[in-house]
Amino acid sequence: MEQTLVLIKPSAVVRGLIGQIITRFQNKGLIITGLKMMQLDEKICREHYAHLVDRPFFPFLLNSMTRTPIIAMVLKGLDAVHVVREMTGATKGRAANPGTLRGDYCMSGQENIVHASDTPENALIEIDRFFSQGEVFDYTCDMFKYLYSPDEVEF
């Protein structure tokens, strides 16, 4: 079953939204397989946002992502990468659809409360970037038989 990386950004940590964001993912039926608070530094931000380092706003993004600790989490489910991206919504909060996390909780294109992996390939890379071996847990979840049908998932 697929896993994906979510970061709860400083804007959400400071605004007291950690619990609400985690609850949304749990209510959907995604399983938490990794969860921790960590302080990002410039090195990991440059790696994580390598596609944006040359953009004029990068210094603002770097400052935004490092000013408080973040929550990193790994979520597991069928098509988890796509499901979590859809739940996250468009990059710019004020353009994101209501019902998505960004659509419901933020206004900004930068302070947009969560990061979510965009492809299964990137999810594997990003989980490795933020979690070491032993920090992501593979445990049996009895709930699966109430979340999926037997032809969707092997129990």
Contact footprint for ligand UDP (CB under 6 A): 49, 52, 57, 61, 91, 109-110, 112, 115, 118
Residue with tokens 């969860």: 35
Smallest distance from ligand UDP to CB 88, Å? 7
State which residue has the least CB distance to ligand UDP.
110
Sequence letter at residue 34: G
Q: How far is the CB of 19 from ligand UDP (least distance, A)?
A: 21
Please give the Cα distance from 140 to 71 (Å, whole number). Answer: 24
Nearer to ligand UDP among residue 43 and residue 51 (C-beta) = 51
Residue with Cβ nearer ligand UDP (8 or 144): 8
Nearest distance in Å: CB 48, ligand UDP:
9
Shortest CB 112 distance to ligand UDP, Å: 5
What burial class does residue 155 get, using C-beta atoms within 10 Å of its C-beta: 0-12 exposed, 13-18 middle, 19+ buried? Answer: exposed
- Return the number of the residue (31 or 84) whose C-beta is nearest ligand UDP: 84
Residue 112 and residue 69 in contact, taking contact as beta carbons nearer than 8 Å: no
Catalytic positions, written as ranges: 115
Burial (CB < 10 A; 0-12, 13-18, 19+), residue 98, is: exposed
Give the burial string for 46-68 (b: 16+ CB within 10 Å, else e): eebeeeeeeeeeeeebbebbbee
Alpha carbon of 86 to those of 28, 59, 116: distances in Å?
A: 12, 27, 10
Q: Which is nearer to ligand UDP, 57 or 155 (CB)?
A: 57
